Structure 1
Amino acid sequence: MLAAGDLVDEFAAGRVARAVADAAEIRLLDRAWAGVLTSPVANRDERRSAEIAQRSLVAEFATAVRVSEWTASRLLGEAHDLCRRFPAAVAALEEGRISRQHLAVIHDAGGSLLDDDARGAFVAAVLNRAVTLTPGLLKPVARILADRYAERPVDDRCAEAAAGRRVEVCDLPDGVSQLVFNGPATLVHGIDDRLTAQARQIIADREADATGHTVPDVDSAPPRDTRTLAQIRADLFTDLLLCGAPSPQLGDGLEAIRAVVQVTVPVLRMAGASDEPIVLAGYGPVDSETARRLAAGARGWERVMTCPTTGTPVAVDRYRPGKALQRFLRARDEGCRFPGCTRPVWRADLDHTIAAADGGPTTPGNLAHLCRRHHTLKHATAWTVHQQEAGVLVWTSPHGRRHTDIPRPTVRFEPDDDTLSRRSVFHEPWLFTPEDEDDTDRPEF
């Protein structure tokens, strides 16, 4: 029987083989679709003949693999677009450097880039990130990079997209229907966070009730709540829409829970001196009007100072007093620091990389956010982690595989000469210790 490490090697090799096979399929579909495309100068009869040929081809591909003609048509058209406009990304898939899911993220993010040079620069930049990120973590990075090369400003694109906001009902089998809401990302992420926070409060209250501390008369207590987190979120969503307020059942103070979203606004953008993107953590660029509205209602501002050449957060302060170190780490990490995890920082614990009991200091170079699942994994299994440098975590699996996790602001940062020159005029003395008083050795901000 193969050892676990050998099975992991075999699994990884299989994924590479699958990527190579996916690339071969994309190239095959491209050749098939290119053979039935109409010439731009074709006359009416030629266009009609090409249309019939396309329908026949779609039908044959669909019946060969038992998919709908709509699916076959989408696969053929998508493959042609990938090979025509994203050849470098298809080549990376063919080499096994990325997966089909990575390619889909790149295609979705860069699909609206019409200029060939801009799209090529975007693909080159995003591939550098894709080889080290999961598709889920690559998605917001790809959106930010695509925004840098977009022909239209993000405010115009967001306004146009928001104008198409809608709610739809999709009927499903067995007496179930699906309610689909398409709206601004900040609102959707806020709704999702608030539902989760309220659901977790209900679960915490019912667990306290189960200990007997809050329900002295067991005979008169209501039936025990056994709903899952997903079920409670759905019930809260229903209550809020139909009743205007959550039905707490076993939860107290649910109306006081507010949504949490993390939006980063570059100071030069606020001053009108830069077009750097405004970023919703875990999603990507959002429009400036949404950012202004969120800022107007914020209880306090956190100022994040970043290195002008790497984008790494180096310090955080705030105009209201608070826990400076925690604010810094929230800005740096944005989420759980296990490779591939997307859970946000407010759903994660601050963990000492080297345990405090073993002498580990409480400093940025020994702290990182871990969700409960990966916090447990670190302490209860043979997984280990060390910080190669402050904020750069190197995880080692039980079978010796090393995985490096870099802070997300650094991953998505791409230097821009004009922005760098503007940043060079900023000097922040409070960032430096007395030993850094010599201006000749001081980094430029």
Structure 2
Amino acid sequence: MTATQTSSRPDSPFPGPPPGGPFEAPPGFTTTTGPAADVLVPEAYARWDPGQRRGYLARRLVNAAEGGTLLYAYDCVRTARERDGVRDPWETAATMIGASMSMSRHGATRLISTAVELIDRLPRTAALLLNGWIGLLAAHTIAEETALVADEMMPEIDRRICEGLAPTRRRTHPPRLGPLRKMLTKTINKYDPVGADARAEQARRGVDVEMVPLGNDRGMISATLKAEDAIEIFQRLEGLVRSAYPDDPRTAGQLRAAGLLAMSRGWTCLPDPDGEHPADPAAQDAARRVVIHAYDDGSADNRGLSLYGYGPITRHTADQLDRSARRRLDELAQLADPHSDSAGRYRPSEALARFCRGRDGTCVFPGCQTLAEHADLDHIIPFDHDDPARGGHTTSDDLGCLCRTHHRLKTDGVWAYYRDVDGSYVWLHGPNHPEPDRGTRVITGPTGSLAHLSAPRHPDSSRRQMAAAESRRTGGQGAAEGRSRRPHLTDRRRADRRLRRERAEQRLADRSRQVTPVMPDDEPPF
């Protein structure tokens, strides 16, 4: 290896004062100096021109900084494991990462998985990341591709991966993701074919369909399917596209989108450009059987309409939807009334649930992006089933949207929170946090279409919630201390690796036992 180490201190990628003059920190912020890093550069680096060195060093420093996040994630898991033998350290660590880095639960869990995989099982590869040679995306790829390799084979796999990645005289940059995946596939196929088969079987089970909101009143349906299923669906779409009239003004892409809509409604023909069945105007209502909810903030001319699960839309689309819309008005004062009959019931009404989800938008834990419609409605002060008048009320002031993971960790006393008088959520360490600090305050705000209505109608509810959170009353810490240890994600991953490898070995054994039939000499072989 001909690369050498250089320090970022004497050769900053951004020398001199920042563009536009000295930076002035906004109110509530200050500046601090971050840690420098030593990174790998080739020997030829000293002969490059200043601009090339500057860009190259900037990339290496970004990679080294991403390696620092890996170490931080690993430390969070280790701290949670050492100080809590009941709760899953991965879940607890994910909340610590989400609060400090404003990262989603999925992103934090993926970072933890990569950190544990590389540091525990691929230390050579981890060193390449920490020294800035590869980036975090490459580290994620390596960790996921080797997840089902047996532990006893990992040292050799680690060495081979490093040989394929290491800088040389001719390789002054790490390989891109495409060549990296090919190299990983060849390496694992050669040294652990069982692990490669298990990974392929796992990947084929990783199917999903997602809806991603786009701009200009559009949404993207993203589907990850088995290859044969994807081909089947696409061929059905192409068949519908070919059924269009020759003078249809729509493009091929628009016809495919219309075909997907027809398939979802069970039609055997394309809808017309307005989305209607060409022969049966009532077919859409009969086939859809789906209610699309929207929020109206009261703006004139349909300018404040937001689709539930999508977000704000333009007046053009709002006018089209308004033709068949039915409006429902609910008084916010009634939804927030702690003396109403519904306030003493545990389950919120549909109107209350819709308002809270439309207000919060997502899970209100820092960094979490779980949509509110997929989250629980949590009583910030726990509901008292024995005496509802004494516990938290079922009102808009006392409910917050939490995904199931963060709901459980709040109940377990790892975190506590309250709604401030301005409608923001303030998170602090609970009694069972691995690193409890009574001074910690992490603030998040609602992001839903009705966020402008988030301030509690009764400010005293905010004061009660704050007192409960600061006195560490989250509602479940007593029960949590007495229950047995749940299976940790590390144990589940190890068991899953063993099970998938056993299945792959069984498939290989079954194939080896298959006997190819011998055809009689007087019959053709087909």
How does the TM-score come out when normalised to structure 1? 0.37
**Largest Rg, 1 or 2:** 2
TM-score of the superposed pair, with normalisation by structure 2 = 0.32
